[in-house]
Amino acid sequence: MSSVLTSLGPEGMPIDLTIVLATIGLIIIILTVLGNRSKYLAMGLASGGFAFGIIFIALQALGFFSSSSSLPYSVPIVTDVVTTDWVSYIFGIAILIVAFLVGLTVVDYFTDESNVTTFYALLIFTTIGALLLAFSTDLLMMFVAWELMSIPSYVLTGFKKKDPASNEAAVKYFLVSAFASAVLLYGISLIYLLTGTTSIYGNSVGTTIVSVSSGYGPVGILALTFLLAGFGIKLAAVPFHMWIPDAYQGAPTIVSGLLSTATKGATFAPAARIFFVIFSFSTFQHDWSLTFAVLAVLSMTLGNFAALTQKSVTRILAYSSIGQAGYILIGFAAGSILGLTGSFFHILNYASMQVCAFLAVALIIQGTRSDNLDTFNGLGKRMTLAPIALTLSLLALGGFPPLSGFWSKLTLFLSAINSNLAWLAVVGIINSFVSIAFYVRIVKHMYLDQAPSDTRLPETNGFRVALIIAVLIIVATGVYPYPLYQLAYTAARSFLASASIIPALLRSVFL
């Protein structure tokens, strides 16, 4: 663990990034305490930090800092508590882009709150937690990052402290999420008993798995159950989803956007590491593939069908986020290179689509003061950019062909068929059609229904910039998906290769 502190070279990149971002967060707090409450200064500092992070990770991934690392399919050598592999690069960039977009809109969203600078500090800290979660390869680091991501986000959820809905969301999110951490910790303690180490890629894992099959089986299954529950709560997978609609509806809408993309996306990285590395060679390999398949089916079906009957747009988006988690889990169930490619690709796309949808809804709610579907009637005549951005992101979430969501869903369904899970692909495709119903319903309300009044609603500049960037990402990926697909493929391939360093090449069946 001490080598982390001594390796502040290219390999210490996650630590460098943490130091830079944390310094910016502390500067914002110190300025606030000293009485400088300039919102735009905080926004500039935070956006600068996020932009620096995006460029830093991109340069690192392109091999700018060293000539030897980052060969496309090289297997990372993991001895530290953090790693720099392709999985962490793509998750890191996705998290930072989401944080950047949300950061742009904060000043325009909280017009009547006095502590906006504090919001930026908390946004930075929760982003650092999400980043470290994607980079961590040690259960201790993972747990600390998990909590660093969660604790500021409770405060963000309850940021409108005079609003009962925001408070209700915060207390519910806090209790459920704290329980998730507790269960996760219990599961980690059982893994520690089985493996004798907290390192995910630890040396003794291989030997341990042998002992799992000969006598420790029940403990292993118990550990798997606890971890699934802990991760399932954060990933919004059914049956751990009950808190999602309340929390997303009550929280400030831009915070819902952050929670449903950065927090959720970042959780997929350690989930993949734990389930594919620690549990990959155990005897119950088949079991958990089926477990993920069942979770995927439940999440897709409940998320999409429950969304059909909702009246509140933020609630529809919350249920849609449950459904989308189901699609991502299809790739986990498939467990092949193609499956993980689809999962990573869909997480990237989902992040841009969902954050675009939530930011557009946040802008609309600012004008209409209500998230009821009926107040969205005729919005196409009253606003310009927000309805267009919302329409594009909803169509992309539904999987319309020229947009980004289509390609990643296609990859996921193909991977399910390739791994002899054709029934899963069929369920996914049926769910896609169901989801189009409620996505298009919102579009219909905005463009075809009669507006209650013709007054124009304001569109602010921060939202404009964020929405344009998000829409560009969605459309560009849809028109030319190859680079992102290739990135996801590289990540999946090197990740599964690193997962199979450890003893038998059981996975080679799928490679």
Partner 1 sequence: MVPLIDYLIVSSILFVIGVYGLVSKGNALRLFFAIEIVVNAANLNLVAFSRYLTPAGYAAEGQTFALFSIAIAAAEAAVGLAIVLVVFRLHKNVDVFGLRKLKN
Residues engaged in binding partner 1 (CB under 8 A): 139-140, 143-144, 147, 150-151, 154-155, 158, 161-162, 164-165, 167-172, 174-175, 178-179, 181-183, 185-186, 188-190, 192-193, 196-198, 245-246, 249-250, 311-312
Residue with smaller CB distance to partner 1, 152 or 399: 152
3-state secondary structure of 393: helix
Residue 401 exposed, middle or buried by CB count within 10 Å (0-12, 13-18, 19+): exposed
Residue with smaller CB distance to partner 1, 154 or 400: 154
Distance CA 16, CA 10 (A): 9
Picking from 4, 230, 241, 27, the residue whose alpha carbon sits closest to that of residue 135 is 4
Is residue 64 within 8 Å of residue 25, measured between CB atoms? no
Residue with smaller CB distance to partner 1, 333 or 362: 362
Question: Least separation, in Å, of the C-beta of 121 and partner 1?
Answer: 14
Residue with smaller CB distance to partner 1, 188 or 362: 188
Written as one string, the DSSP assignment of 119-160 is HHHHHHHHHHHHHHHHHB-BHHHHHHHHHHHHHHHHHHHT-S
Question: Least separation, in Å, of the C-beta of 34 and partner 1?
Answer: 23
Alpha-carbon dihedral sign for residues 177, 182, 188, 194: negative
Question: Least separation, in Å, of the C-beta of 474 and partner 1?
Answer: 29
Picking from 110, 112, 82, the residue whose alpha carbon sits closest to that of residue 12 is 82
Question: Least separation, in Å, of the C-beta of 228 and partner 1?
Answer: 16
Question: Least separation, in Å, of the C-beta of 179 and partner 1?
Answer: 5
Residue with smaller CB distance to partner 1, 197 or 460: 197
Query: Residue 76 phi/psi, 5° resolution?
Result: -70, 140
Residue with smaller CB distance to partner 1, 35 or 164: 164
Residue with smaller CB distance to partner 1, 56 or 173: 173
Is residue 292 within 8 Å of residue 274, measured between CB atoms? no
Three-class SS string for 22-47?
HHHHHHHHHHHHCCCCCHHHHHHHHH
Question: Least separation, in Å, of the C-beta of 489 and partner 1?
Answer: 35
Residue with smaller CB distance to partner 1, 47 or 118: 118
Picking from 472, 331, 329, the residue whose alpha carbon sits closest to that of residue 396 is 472
Query: Residue 449 phi/psi, 5° resolution?
Result: -85, 160
User: Angle 259-264-267 (CA atoms, 0-180°, nearest 5)?
Assistant: 135
Question: Least separation, in Å, of the C-beta of 155 and partner 1?
Answer: 6
Q: Where are the beta strands (DSSP E) in 145-300?
A: none
Cβ contacts of 350 within 8 Å, gap of 6 or more: 261, 265, 324, 328, 397, 405, 408
Residue with smaller CB distance to partner 1, 93 or 190: 190
Q: Give the CA dihedral 385, 388, 391, 397, nearest 10 degrees.
A: -70
Residue with smaller CB distance to partner 1, 202 or 428: 202
Question: Least separation, in Å, of the C-beta of 199 and partner 1?
Answer: 9
Residue with smaller CB distance to partner 1, 161 or 456: 161
Distance CA 481, CA 341 (A): 13
Is residue 314 within 8 Å of residue 256, measured between CB atoms? yes
Question: Least separation, in Å, of the C-beta of 80 and partner 1?
Answer: 14
Task: Evaluate the omega torsion of the peptide bond into residue 72 and state whether it is cis, within 30 degrees of 0.
Answer: no
Question: Least separation, in Å, of the C-beta of 400 and partner 1?
Answer: 30
